[in-house]
Structure 1
Amino acid sequence: MGSEVRNHHTFAGRTIVMLLALLTGTASLLAGSAGSGSGGTEHAPGIEPIRFNQDGGNWSGFVTVGRGFRSVSASWREPAVTCTSVNNRFAIWVGIDGYGSSTVQQTGVATACSSGAPIRQAWYEMVPDLPVYYANPVHPGDSMTAGVVRSGRTYTMTITNNTRKWTRKATAVADAADASAEIVVEPAAGSLPRFDVIRFTDVTVDGQKPGAAAFAIDATNSRGFETRTSPLSDGRFSVSYLHE
């Protein structure tokens, strides 16, 4: 896309100035999926194929950058959501890549308000392919766990609803950058619904709790910051809604 996004964020007494290059490119993919639990693979009513990978410019959460990331995982409870517009759309996800790279391997839960009420659906995505949505049920308060694991060029994206006892898993092959790992709350189309505080637990990157290399970011729009990300401590942090 060739444009640049600048995001200024004061966190833990420091000002982090981020220059985000929105890159284009291609990745060679061989994608497939297999899962356990009830339900097939489909698009939910009211959820169109939404891309959630805007290179950090509208992310909230924690990012670690480097080389050769092998895994990322986190757990959370699905928040209660209040729709303020039929355009409200956001996702909670974990992934490898996407921050300064043209590849993304991610899985999580998307919420859309196009029907007038929040519709939630688990999904995974291997950019540049479109996201794939699962039909398994997700409701507010459900305990979710998501992870992406890399072995060579093979990525396994797993999401589990611990409350409703289902798991879906997808495996794909890609020539990817493996240059970042992240746990993200991301609005799509710049329209964020109100949501209860999202509390992440059991956060790991390459099997370890993230340390000083992980940094927080928050989504912005023309009115300023949309969200607030708390400090990361012992594999835990939260993301709070400020405004749409």
Structure 2
Amino acid sequence: MRKFLTRVPVTAVAVAAFTVPGIVLPVGAATATAASFRPVHYNINGYNWGGYAAQGSNFTSVSATWTEANATCNSRNDLYAPWVGIDGYGSSTVEQTGVATDCSTGRPVHQAWYEMYPANPVYLSTSSYPVSAGDHITASVTYAGSSTYTLKLNDSSRGWTYTTTKTLSSRRASAEVIIESPTGAYPNFGTLNFTSATVNGSSLGSFGPVALDPSNGAYEARTSTLGSGGTSFSETYLRE
């Protein structure tokens, strides 16, 4: 994706608190082990993530499925993406993959991508790997050892799968299922439902993840509580 408009520096510290410019927030799960789920919603001005982030150590995999939303552009500045990743929440690196919806042409354009941040994102060919609203997408990031990650995207509606293996030295201190707007402006995506969300082969909810709501002066979207045994939730558009 484009360079993040805002990547709020957050540091996960066991049984402590972290600070985001003038705001002190409680930490979620301290280790990558099963924990009871207590949703905590953060409304941080300028924070452009929505979804759930599990905190801890030694995360090895994250995956989720969603149906690509039929978005309506409010302006040419609108841009957002659902994605899954390891690191990013409290780290200076992130290994992530998903589908971006870009309104810079005046209409929504869907494009698959992956990123080994801080390296630039890599967008997949729209002719070889096309994505349209209504497509059934599954994304996963898996740590294979020795700083090596396998990133995989599948569009079962179109019948394609893209897999790449990359290396990056990272902390593996978080795992996320997220929507993000690098421009801080969301198109109207209605409601996007994440399902089959797992971390380390277990339900996302079993890790006591933090619930995040994107905010740019006011809520831009709302993250639901986790359902289906901690493996599903929805993101509902509120404003650009």
Q: TM class by shorter-chain length?
A: 0.7 to 0.9
Corresponding residue of 1:184: 178
Equivalent residue runs for 1:1-244 within 5 Å: 4-5=20-21, 6=23, 57-135=47-125, 136-152=129-145, 153-210=147-204, 211=206, 213-222=208-217, 224-233=218-227, 234=229, 235-244=231-240
| Residue 196 of structure 1: how far off its partner (Å) | 2.1
Unaligned runs of 5+ in 1: 21-53
Aligned CA distance change for structure 1 residues 125 and 231 (closer, same or farther; 3 Å): same
Tell me the distance in 2 between the aligned counterparts of 1:140 and 1:97: 28
Aligned CA distance change for structure 1 residues 242 and 156 (closer, same or farther; 3 Å): same
| Residue 58 of structure 1: how far off its partner (Å) | 1.3
Tell me the distance in 2 between the aligned counterparts of 1:155 and 1:189: 27
Quick check: which one's strand share is greater? Answer: 1
| Residue 83 of structure 1: how far off its partner (Å) | 0.4
Tell me the distance in 1 between the aligned counterparts of 2:221 and 2:216: 10
Tell me the distance in 2 between the aligned counterparts of 1:217 and 1:103: 19
- Contact 1:97/1:105 (CA < 8 Å) preserved in 2? yes
1:130 aligned counterpart, secondary structure: coil
Which stretch shifts more, 208-217 or 190-199?
208-217
- Contact 1:72/1:96 (CA < 8 Å) preserved in 2? yes
CA RMSD of aligned residues (A): 2.5
The amino acid that maps onto 2:151 is M
**Aligned positions, number:** 206
What are the Cα deviations for residues 178-200 of structure 1, in whole angstroms up to 9, with x where unaligned? 00000000012111110121011
Task: Tell me the TM-score normalized by structure 1.
Answer: 0.78
| Residue 2 of structure 1: how far off its partner (Å) | 9.1
The amino acid that maps onto 1:121 is Q
2:203 aligned counterpart, secondary structure: coil
The amino acid that maps onto 1:192 is Y
The amino acid that maps onto 1:138 is V
- Contact 1:7/1:17 (CA < 8 Å) preserved in 2? no
The amino acid that maps onto 1:216 is A
| Residue 133 of structure 1: how far off its partner (Å) | 0.7
What are the Cα deviations for residues 106-156 of structure 1, in whole angstroms up to 9, with x where unaligned? 000011001100001000000111000111110000000000000211100
Unaligned runs of 5+ in 2: 1-6, 10-19, 27-36
Tell me the distance in 2 between the aligned counterparts of 1:228 and 1:96: 22
Aligned CA distance change for structure 1 residues 7 and 198 (closer, same or farther; 3 Å): farther
1:82 aligned counterpart, secondary structure: coil
